[in-house]
Amino acid sequence: MSQQVSGPFVDARDVTVRYGDLTAVDKVDLSAAEGQVVGLIGPNGSGKTSLLECVEGLRKPATGTIRVGGFDPAADRTRMTRIAGVQLQQLVYPPRATVEEMCRLFASFYPGPADHRELLDRFGLTEQRRSQVVKLSGGQQQRLSLVLALLNDPQVVFLDELTNGLDPAARRVVWDELRRRNDEGLTVVITSHHMEEVEYLCDRVNVLLKGRIVATGTPSDLIREHAGDTARLVLDGSGGNRELRDSLTALGTGVRVQQAGQRLLLDVQPARRAEVNRVLADHGCTPRELPPSLDDAYLNLTGQAAGPASSEADNVNVS
Ligand SMILES: Nc1ncnc2c1ncn2[C@@H]1O[C@H](COP(=O)(O)OP(=O)(O)OP(=O)(O)O)[C@@H](O)[C@H]1O
pLDDT in tens, 41-76: 999 999 999 999 999 999 999 999 999 999 999 999
Domain boundary among 225, 257, 275: 225
Predicted confidence at residue 212, as pLDDT, reads 97
**Same domain as 296, residue 147:** no
| Contacts with 22 (C-beta within 8 Å, 6 or more apart), sequence order | none
Predicted confidence at residue 236, as pLDDT, reads 94
Compute the distance from residue 87 Cα to the ligand 1 centre, in Å: 17
Q: Output phi, psi for 267, to 5 deg.
A: -110, 120
Q: What is the mean predicted confidence (pLDDT) over 2-29? A: 90
pLDDT in tens, 113-126: 999 999 999 999 99
For residue 313, pLDDT beyond 50: no
Note the ipTM here: 0.98
Query: Is 4 within a domain?
Result: no
Predicted confidence at residue 311, as pLDDT, reads 39
**Same domain as 274, residue 196:** no
34 in Cβ contact with 3 (< 8 Å):
no
**Same domain as 195, residue 270:** no
Alpha-carbon distance of 4 to 11, in angstroms, equals 14
Domain boundary among 176, 191, 225: 225
Here the CATH number for the domain that contains residue 288 is 3.30.70
Predicted confidence at residue 118, as pLDDT, reads 95
For residue 310, pLDDT beyond 80: no
**Same domain as 84, residue 160:** yes
Query: Is 158 within a domain?
Result: yes
For residue 309, pLDDT beyond 60: no
Query: Is 14 within a domain?
Result: yes
**Same domain as 238, residue 167:** no
Query: Which residue among 18, 21, 40, 48 has the greatest number of ligand 1 atoms within 8 angstroms of its CB, and so is best to mutate?
Result: 48
Compute the distance from residue 47 Cα to the ligand 1 centre, in Å: 6
For residue 1, pLDDT beyond 50: no
Query: Is 95 within a domain?
Result: yes
Domain boundary among 173, 201, 225: 225
Alpha-carbon distance of 118 to 107, in angstroms, equals 13
- Which residue has its alpha carbon closest to ligand 1 atom 26? 44
Across the chain, mean pLDDT equals 90
For residue 129, pLDDT beyond 70: yes
pLDDT in tens, 227-263: 999 999 999 998 889 999 999 999 999 999 999 989 9
Query: Is 141 within a domain?
Result: yes
Compute the distance from residue 48 Cα to the ligand 1 centre, in Å: 8
Query: Is 3 within a domain?
Result: no
pLDDT bracket for residue 317 (50, 70, 90): low
For residue 242, the enclosing domain spans: 230-318
Q: What is the mean predicted confidence (pLDDT) over 195-203? A: 94
**Same domain as 149, residue 269:** no
For residue 314, pLDDT beyond 50: no
Query: Is 18 within a domain?
Result: yes
**Same domain as 266, residue 248:** yes
Percent of the chain at pLDDT > 70 equals 92
66-72 CB contacts, 8 Å cutoff, 24+ apart: 66/11, 66/12, 66/13, 66/15, 67/7, 67/10, 67/11, 67/12, 68/9, 68/10, 68/11, 68/156, 69/3, 69/5, 69/9, 69/155, 69/156, 70/3, 70/5, 70/6
